């Protein structure tokens, strides 16, 4: 006598929902990065993918519980649905943790924003006004976000900033080098975050009596919150710049007074 063992419908639906959640999670990110869909549409699809991932996990857990009691087939399908749903939900859990950790801001700067203009201001992109941090909040969440001063000339320091920005792989949109006569240098770079949000970093190198100062601004152009990316970007960049300047001064121990004016070429004489 042949005993028929049925496959759990809960397990079947668990794998179906998990399999459907994968493209709904991945494809919108790729389309958003390539600007094939706008940000509001991306948010709607992302929220739907998150809800579907939760549903896949729920159905998978119900399927596993029923399989334990009934002895039906479908363990592999239920576990696959649980795995796919968990993988798709992981990015949302990660950004949810960041949202709880950092304040909901979209623009952070070490000095007045008027001195660090963006190439495209958010108002030009029909976006809400930027959310800003107070000085106390900035010191609490991002203590390294502060103006840096170095015993280097503005031209030398701007070159270090320029090289470091290029090493990050950011898309430089504007470059105004210091003129060596007291004028400040400015550099604007565009960054695309993993989910496809556009952000912009602005650098200003200003001559001061004992060297030069660096200010930096990082702002989100099409997001309602940055999940801490702007503050962390400034902190990481300025720490890296500290290391670059330290290495430069170490490799040039005879550099007493930084100058932005090139030394005249030696004059050749007949012997």
Average pLDDT over residues 152-178: 92
End-to-end CA distance of the chain: 115
- pLDDT (0 to 100) of residue 123: 46
Domain spans of the chain, in order of start: 9-101, 107-251
Tell me the pTM. Answer: 0.80
Q: 17 CB contacts (<8 Å, ≥6 apart)?
A: 52, 55, 56, 59, 81, 85
Helix and strand counts by DSSP (H, E) for the chain: 6, 6
- pLDDT tens string 227-264: 999 999 999 999 999 999 999 988 887 765 554 444 44
DSSP bridge pairs for 128: none
Kindly report the length of the chain: 271
Q: Which two tokens stand for residue 215?
A: 């200010």
CA proximity to 156, closest of 246, 263, 259? 259
- pLDDT (0 to 100) of residue 265: 46
Using a 10 angstrom Cβ sphere, with 0-12 exposed, 13-18 middle and 19 or more buried, the burial of residue 21 is buried
Q: In the structure, what pLDDT confidence band is assigned to residue 38 with cuts at 50, 70 and 90? A: confident
Contact 198, 242 (CB under 8 A): no
The percent of residues above 70 in pLDDT, for the chain, comes to 87
Distances from the Cα of 217 to the Cα of 87, 118, 204, angstroms: 34, 9, 9
Q: In the structure, what pLDDT confidence band is assigned to residue 129 with cuts at 50, 70 and 90? A: low
Q: In the structure, what pLDDT confidence band is assigned to residue 5 with cuts at 50, 70 and 90? A: low
Contact 192, 181 (CB under 8 A): no
Range 107-251 classified under CATH 3.30.310.80:
yes
- pLDDT tens string 68-102: 888 788 899 999 999 999 999 999 999 999 999 99
């Amino acid at each position: 006598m042949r005993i028929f063992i049925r496959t759990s419908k809960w397990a079947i639906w668990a794998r179906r929902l998990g399999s459907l959640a994968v493209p709904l999670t991945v494809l919108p990110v790729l389309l958003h990065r390539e600007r094939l869909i706008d940000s509001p549409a991306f948010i709607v699809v992302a929220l739907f993918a998150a809800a579907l991932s939760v549903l896949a996990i729920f159905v998978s857990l119900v399927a596993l519980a029923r399989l334990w009691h009934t002895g039906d087939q479908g363990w592999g399908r239920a576990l696959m649905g649980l795995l796919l749903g968990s993988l798709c939900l992981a990015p949302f859990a990660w950004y949810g943790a960041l949202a709880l950790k950092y304040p909901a801001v979209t623009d952070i700067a070490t000095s007045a924003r008027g001195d660090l203009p963006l190439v495209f201001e958010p108002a030009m992109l029909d976006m809400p006004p930027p959310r800003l941090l107070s000085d106390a909040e900035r010191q609490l969440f991002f203590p390294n976000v502060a103006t840096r001063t170095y015993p280097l000339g503005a031209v030398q320091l701007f070159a270090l900033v320029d090289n470091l920005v290029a090493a990050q792989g950011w898309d430089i949109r504007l470059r105004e080098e210091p003129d060596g006569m007291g004028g400040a240098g400015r550099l604007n770079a565009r960054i695309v975050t993993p989910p496809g949000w556009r952000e912009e970093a602005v650098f200003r190198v200003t001559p001061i009596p004992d060297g030069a100062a660096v200010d930096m601004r990082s702002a989100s152009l099409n997001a309602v919150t940055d999940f801490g990316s702007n503050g962390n970007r400034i902190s990481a960049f300025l720490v890296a710049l500290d290391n670059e300047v330290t290495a430069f001064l170490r490799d040039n121990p005879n550099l007493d007074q930084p100058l932005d004016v090139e030394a005249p070429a030696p004059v050749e004489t007949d012997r």
